Structure 1
Amino acid sequence: MKFEERVLRHEDQLNETDDDIVSYIRSHRQEIMKLSIQKIAADLFIAPNAVMRLSKKLEYSGFSELKFSVQNEGEPEGTGKTISGRILGQLPSNIVKTLDTIDVLTLKKAAAMMKKARCCIFAGVGDSTYFCEMLGKNLRCLDCSVQFYQQIHDMFYAVRHGSRDDLLIIISARGENDRLIEMAGEAKAMGMPVVSITHFYENRLAKACDVNLYFWGEDREVQGYNVTDRSGLMVLVRLLSEEFWQGYVEP
């Protein structure tokens, strides 16, 4: 079923905000794959979740399927699901939702900041430290100067002895760690730009940083043990690394 047919079918369920989003998509069909939830929300002054809710109302698995479907309106009909929908349906929901939330322009901006920085300083606690190390190694392969430490007091030391030419990248699933928020504040006070990587919801760390990247990874515990799915964060780290590597030519 095509986009316009879905809109017509669910017309009675759509509110004014939904109508605004539909109109926006219609006027940006030629660049649909470049759109992100954050871009639409910012342009229409609405909550990002409104875009996700509309996708569900129109019986898409998420915004990613909506985009792929609109771009490929010539897909075979009568199967009940678009080809892209069937492919996305095989992926874990956190990966699909992460693809929905990633803003390509923000991703490119963060990668450009990493390339420009004299040194990239990574900060994270708990499980996030693994991803700090992973992203740091991906930058080092192109001789980028990187600092990463296991202890938070060492991270503070690196920031306090850095400069406005450096870049602080903070990875925090919840974005509510007081020490990391304090670190972001210190970095910004000395003119050092700060990039945050957090789960996609409003959090204090994102508000304290210059550029915000989001993945989808809701908290989950089993018998008090943290088993939160970090596959969305893994995807974001990889996409950011790929963007950083853009332009590199093998010797």
Structure 2
Amino acid sequence: MGKEIFKLSRVPGQAVTDDQLLTDLRRVAGELGKATVGQKEYRRLGTYDDSTVSTRFGSWNKALKVAGLEVANEVNLSDALLFENLLQLWIYYGRQPRRRELSLPPSTISQSPYQRRFGAWSAALSAFVEFANALNDDGASSGPIATIHPMRRTPRDPSLRLRFRVLQRDRFSCRSCGASPATTPQVQLHVDHILAWSLGGETTLDNLQTLCATCNLGKGALPG
């Protein structure tokens, strides 16, 4: 087909619905091939004024969230959230993630928060690895342990650092079938108790293993 001759423009002063604003945000994100949209990008490609979007939803970030898009420049993100995102990338790629991969799924946080918090990508990775490797000999978190049961030493859910240690040991692959997100992106990995927690198993490095979602659901509470 030839180049479009006519293009419909919005009449100035015409009322705009929330759905129209959100749909346009998603359209721009699609054109950019990204899961988020910056205000400068929207000024260049959007149909409406970015100030209208911000005012309607309370802020630009709130508008992105309502549209189902990611917040790229959210400030004051906790270290836990930043490290959790790094862990998901490490699982997905089966290796140390690269800075450019922060702009691609499954990352939900862009480069900027890491730059603000740590000053450099290498420093962010170093901080994450230092945090993840800060374990006692039995694999329990070096922080205080919540009291769940008088006979237990550990909580049911492994900490982020312990999950990383287990996944790293198991090469980010299912110990039962070998599946890995690095080769099959739809694979989801779980950190599972070998002896079920409900049967008295502790949340320690030697009692945890990496299983894909399929193998984990098939295992149930059976040991091994």
Greater fraction strand? 1
Structure number with greater Rg is: 2
TM over 0.5: no
TM normalised by structure 1 equals 0.26
Which has the bigger relative contact order, CA under 8 A and spacing at least 6?
1
TM normalised by structure 2 equals 0.28
